[in-house]
Amino acid sequence: MQSDERPLRDEPGLVRQARSGDANAFGLLYDAYVDRLYRFIYYRVSDVPLAEDLTSKVFLKAWENLPGYRDRGLSFGAWLFSIARNTVIDHYRTAKQEPSLETVGPITDESIDLERSLSESLQSDRLAEALRKLTDEQREVLVLKFIIGYSTEEIARLMKKRPGAVRALQMRGLQALERLLGDSEIW
């Protein structure tokens, strides 16, 4: 999944156009969010094909529910992340299974130095494994904050929590990661 993750110049305008049925406007919104949503989902399910499938489901649900979208204090991106969060929860609820402990490393281009690629993959695997040992809320806060790049206030609105509660989850999650990873090069 590739996108350039550049901020959109007129996201509200694109949302209005997409709500009117403009597939090209929705495509631009897709391009702006697909990588961040995929990473968010991947760190919840740790399975590349499943993360790709669930990401596709998120955008399908967003397209189907777009006529009813209203900006009620949450940005369009936050709305997408709430759909992603619920899609992952629904997946585990209907599958009635625990998250897989198998980790699939990132797919790399063969032209990248093999040693560096292996090192990065091992670090990513260790981080994904450590993240799975956190509570769901701690993991969600850390992924939204440090991988997706949301502010504490945005995370609080998305998770329907107070900013102080989000900061506490972040602190406890980081402390737990530090214990789990020790003196790793990831830090």
Rg for the chain, CA atoms, rounded: 17
Q: Residue 12: is it exposed, middle or buried by C-beta count within 10 angstroms (0-12/13-18/19+)?
A: exposed
Which helix (H) or strand (E) segment holds residue 168: the answer is helix 163-181
Determine the CATH number of domain 1-101: 1.10.1740.10
In the chain, where does the domain assigned CATH 1.10.10.10 lie?
Answer: 113-182
* pLDDT tens digits, one per residue of 10-55: 888 899 998 888 889 899 999 999 999 998 898 888 888 998 999 9
The domain 113-182 having CATH identifier 3.90.1150.10: the answer here is no
Cα gap 68→162, rounded to integer Å: 26
* Whether pTM exceeds 0.75: no
DSSP-assigned states of every residue in 27-72? HHHHHHHHHHHHHHHHHHH--HHHHHHHHHHHHHHHHHHGGG---S
Which helix (H) or strand (E) segment holds residue 119: the answer is helix 114-132
Which helix (H) or strand (E) segment holds residue 21: the answer is none
* pLDDT tens digits, one per residue of 124-142: 667 777 888 888 888 888 8
In the chain, where does the domain assigned CATH 1.10.1740.10 lie?
Answer: 1-101
